[in-house]
């Protein structure tokens, strides 16, 4: 069996795409080559508190999700990636 071949350059076209992930409206904000992974930013009003470099929580930021594009064996697309629904 061979691994699934695709280019992360091709996946960069997904940046800006709005999707539904875990019943949350999100936008694709980055493609990470390591993995590869998609980074999704929540568009809902669920705001997380982000700690600064000293561990003090001061800043409110949107929740982000990092999901794998491929399975660990790189033979198929991951369940998380396949569960993304378009936000029509």
d(CA 88, CA 73): 32
Share of the chain above pLDDT 70, in %: 89
Under a CB-based contact definition with an 8 Å cutoff, are residues 65 and 21 in contact? yes
The pLDDT, as a whole number, for residue 77 is: 92
d(CA 51, CA 2): 43
Find the mean pLDDT for residues 18-39: 94
Question: How many Å from the N-terminal Cα to the C-terminal Cα in the chain?
Answer: 36
The pLDDT, as a whole number, for residue 2 is: 61
Summary mean pLDDT of the chain = 86
73-86 confidence digits (pLDDT tens): 888 999 999 999 99
φ/ψ (deg, to 5) at 82: -70, -20
Tokens of 79: 């369940």
Find the mean pLDDT for residues 66-76: 92
């Amino acid at each position: 069996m061979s691994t699934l071949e695709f280019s992360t350059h091709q996946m960069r076209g997904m940046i800006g795409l709005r999707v539904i992930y875990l019943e949350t409206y999100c936008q694709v904000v980055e493609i990470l080559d390591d993995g590869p992974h998609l980074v999704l930013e929540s568009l809902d009003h669920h705001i997380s508190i982000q700690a600064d470099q000293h561990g003090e929580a001061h800043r409110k930021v949107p929740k982000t999700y990092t999901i794998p594009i491929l399975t660990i064996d790189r033979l198929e697309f991951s369940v998380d990636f396949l569960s993304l629904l378009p936000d029509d």
